[in-house]
Amino acid sequence: MENKINQLFEDQKSVHVLYAYNEMENYIKQVVNYIREGIFAGDYVIVIENDRIYPLIEKELDTLLSKDQMKLVHRINNFDFYYSSGSYHPPAIQDYFNKTVQPYVENKISFRSWAHVEWTTMKDPLHLIEDFEKVVDEAVNQLSFPLICAYKGERMPEYLKTILMETHPYVLVEDDLIASEQYHPSNDRK
């Protein structure tokens, strides 16, 4: 998987990947590999993760990276990120993200991001996730950076799976990266 993703990132910098995970052990392995490979490639890595899981990631990274390399990892609490306005509101999330990446973009610093997307209940309107993923897909292409969006597979109803397959050009399945046949580029969705 690492070689396939790294090759894709070398071939094109704008890469938006869906990762539907089930087992936490696999999730930790994937995010740690993504961060490690990003740092080895010279990228800063923005990790949008929750307070329960990040210490597990950090523990693994501490065994693989030096203190200087760890300084290239910028962690954002995913609850603060997705609910910065008090609810899951795509414009507020986009604003938060833009402020986060602005220094990297302005200073032409290479970065990549990993976003663990969670919500507390299925009462959150799924159309908001669709709206947000469309905006994110455009941002990935406009700002030219790689992004993996991680969702808990068992919490994804079929409607959400369809939305995510349509808004992500690539899907990480186990240790394989495949193209989404359902993907519609953002300019095709207007």
Categorise residue 42: left if φ over 0, alpha if ψ from -120 to 50, beta otherwise.
Answer: left
pLDDT score of 13:
78
pTM for this predicted structure: 0.90
pLDDT averages per 10-residue partition of the chain, 190 residues: 64 88 94 94 95 97 97 93 73 87 94 87 68 88 92 88 93 86 70
Host domain of residue 128: 2-188
pLDDT score of 80:
86
Q: CA angle at residue 138 from 135 to 140, to 5 degrees?
A: 110
Q: Are 134 and 163 in contact (CB under 8 A)?
A: no
pLDDT score of 110:
93
Report the 10 Å Cβ neighbour count for 47. Answer: 23
Tokens standing for 76? 């954002």
pLDDT score of 125:
65
Q: How many domains does the chain have?
A: 1
CA-CA distance, 3 to 8, in Å (whole number)? 8
- Please report, for the domain that includes residue 167, its CATH number: 3.40.50.300
pLDDT score of 85:
67
CA-CA distance, 99 to 93, in Å (whole number)? 10
